[in-house]
């Protein structure tokens, strides 16, 4: 069924994990569009400051301290939305954290806590939202990951939580459609995103944590979330690099396993000693910061812009075609010139994705200074 969603200026949006990273970027972007906000996270002080900043700029936001791993806290989020705004139109389940460590080394306590936040927190939020929206209509937006489609070493249990998120979200969408409920259910699957995520992860290694490239900026995920709040969409992958990983895992899973085995562990660890190894798994993390510490990032993703904007889709096809032709021409010229060159060990499609992603359609929204 076709579901009509309200414009952002007429919406009340609930965002969990709103004190930093993707959640915070989404909160500021939604406030700029006129949405009223219910912001939830464990860091109460950071939330209060964020809500105050939005309100001082003419927006409307309330802060609710909540641990989404506790069902009663999720109920308080919904109650706050009802008492302050009379309800909500979109619920964004963004709260999440990770663990970097080998599966045979991570404690059961830490693994259960990870599932409490990443999976059960999302389940509680989705159930609460579905019960509220099944009659009035609206959107449920769940933040999965490229690791909903594949898995990597060092973040094995995080990958498991995101696979569970995908399975739950897909089943919820089907059941709501089956009963004719006017609720859009979208799974957002970001690639690596430049947020404080590595700083907030619990670290079982002796090295500082980072993210494997390519890394995208959180504003790109916020754009996708707000698109899903106003357009019925099954899922959105944020980042062409993530789409390539997903496709490779689907079409050549053995190759993906080999690539992860050879490359992925070192790409997640820096040659610097670990600091703050406990992260934010069991206690609130540092709030108020959207961006991480990675300098070499992709500010936009043309692939994601094409998914969320049909006007851009033609540009993506043209750019990909031009990139492929350029690569073919380069190889043909090398062959005809008689000069032997060492074969490129990187898949040609990776080169195409990188060339296409570097063509920026529009600049990202202004970034809040942190």
- Condensed to tens digits (0 to 9), the pLDDT of residues 238-266 reads 999 999 999 999 999 999 999 999 999 99
Query: Is 198 among the domain residues?
Result: yes
0.85 exceeded by pTM: yes
Residues 6+ apart with CB under 8 A from 149: 166, 189, 245, 246, 249, 250
Same domain, 209 and 274: yes
**Cis check: omega of the bond before 214, within 30 degrees of 0:** yes
Query: Is 1 among the domain residues?
Result: no
Query: Is 233 among the domain residues?
Result: yes
Predicted confidence at residue 328, as pLDDT, reads 53
3-state secondary structure of 36: strand
Same domain, 185 and 291: yes
Predicted confidence at residue 169, as pLDDT, reads 99
Same domain, 221 and 322: no
CATH code (residue 51): 3.40.50.720
Predicted confidence at residue 1, as pLDDT, reads 81
Final residue in a domain of this structure, among 295, 312, 329: 312
Query: Is 242 among the domain residues?
Result: yes
Query: Is 343 among the domain residues?
Result: yes
Predicted confidence at residue 342, as pLDDT, reads 37
Structural domains in the chain (count): 2
* Domain, as residue range, for 322: 317-357
Query: Is 105 among the domain residues?
Result: yes
pLDDT per residue over 284-336, tens digit each? Answer: 999 999 999 999 999 899 999 999 987 665 565 565 556 555 555 554 555 44
Same domain, 256 and 140: yes
Predicted confidence at residue 309, as pLDDT, reads 85
Same domain, 298 and 331: no
197 is an active site residue: no
Predicted confidence at residue 314, as pLDDT, reads 59
Same domain, 31 and 96: yes
Same domain, 38 and 143: yes
Contact 90, 138 (CB under 8 A): yes
Q: For residue 237, report the phi and psi dihedrals to the nearest 5 degrees.
A: -90, 130
Same domain, 329 and 240: no
Same domain, 178 and 242: yes
Predicted confidence at residue 95, as pLDDT, reads 98
Same domain, 266 and 328: no
Predicted confidence at residue 47, as pLDDT, reads 98
CA atoms within 13 Å, Cβ hemisphere of 305? 22
Strand pairing class (207-209; 269-273): antiparallel
Contact 228, 239 (CB under 8 A): no
- The rounded distance, in Å, linking the Cα atoms of 10 and 8 is 5
Query: Is 367 among the domain residues?
Result: no
Taking 70 as the pLDDT cut, the residues of the chain under it are 311-370
Query: Is 369 among the domain residues?
Result: no
- The rounded distance, in Å, linking the Cα atoms of 163 and 350 is 24
Classify 232 in phi/psi space as left (phi over 0), alpha (psi -120 to 50) or beta. beta
The three state secondary structure string of 132-167 is HHHHHCEEEEEECCHHHCCCCCCEHHHHHHHHHHHH
Predicted confidence at residue 313, as pLDDT, reads 58
Q: Pick the catalytic residue from 124, 158, 197, 227.
A: 158
Same domain, 308 and 341: no
Same domain, 21 and 127: yes
């Amino acid at each position: 069924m076709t579901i009509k969603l309200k414009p952002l200026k007429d919406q009340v949006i609930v965002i969990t994990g709103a004190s930093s990273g993707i959640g915070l970027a989404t909160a500021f972007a939604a406030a700029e569009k006129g949405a009223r906000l219910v912001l939830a996270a464990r860091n109460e002080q950071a939330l209060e400051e964020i809500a105050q900043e939005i309100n001082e700029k003419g927006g409307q936001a309330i802060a609710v301290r909540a641990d989404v791993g506790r069902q009663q806290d999720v109920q308080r989020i919904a109650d706050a939305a009802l008492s302050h705004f009379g309800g909500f139109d979109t619920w964004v389940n963004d709260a999440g954290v990770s663990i970097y460590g080998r599966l045979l080394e991570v404690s059961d306590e830490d693994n259960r806590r990870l599932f409490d936040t990443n999976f059960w927190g999302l389940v509680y939020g989705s159930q609460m939202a579905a019960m509220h929206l099944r009659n009035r209509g609206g959107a449920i937006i769940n933040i999965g990951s490229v690791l909903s489609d594949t898995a990597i070493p060092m973040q094995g249990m995080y990958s498991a939580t995101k696979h569970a998120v995908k399975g739950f979200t897909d089943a919820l969408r089907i059941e709501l459609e089956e009963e004719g409920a006017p609720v859009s259910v979208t799974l957002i699957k970001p690639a690596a995103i430049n947020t404080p995520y590595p700083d907030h992860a619990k670290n079982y290694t002796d090295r500082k944590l980072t993210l494997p490239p390519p890394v995208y900026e959180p504003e790109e995920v916020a754009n996708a979330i707000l698109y899903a709040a106003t357009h019925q969409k099954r899922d959105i992958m944020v980042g062409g690099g993530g789409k390539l990983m997903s496709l490779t895992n689907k079409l050549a899973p053995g190759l993906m396993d080999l690539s992860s085995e050879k490359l992925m562990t070192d790409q997640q660890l820096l040659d610097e000693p670990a600091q703050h190894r406990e992260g934010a798994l069991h206690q609130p993390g540092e709030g108020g910061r959207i961006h991480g510490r990675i300098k070499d990032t992709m500010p936009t993703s043309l692939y994601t812009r094409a998914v969320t904007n049909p006007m851009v889709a033609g540009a993506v096809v043209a750019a990909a075609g031009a990139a492929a032709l350029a690569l073919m021409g380069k190889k043909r010229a090398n062959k005809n010139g008689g000069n032997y060159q060492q074969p490129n060990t990187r898949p040609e499609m990776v080169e195409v994705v990188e060339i296409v992603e570097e063509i920026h359609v529009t600049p990202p929204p202004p970034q809040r200074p942190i």
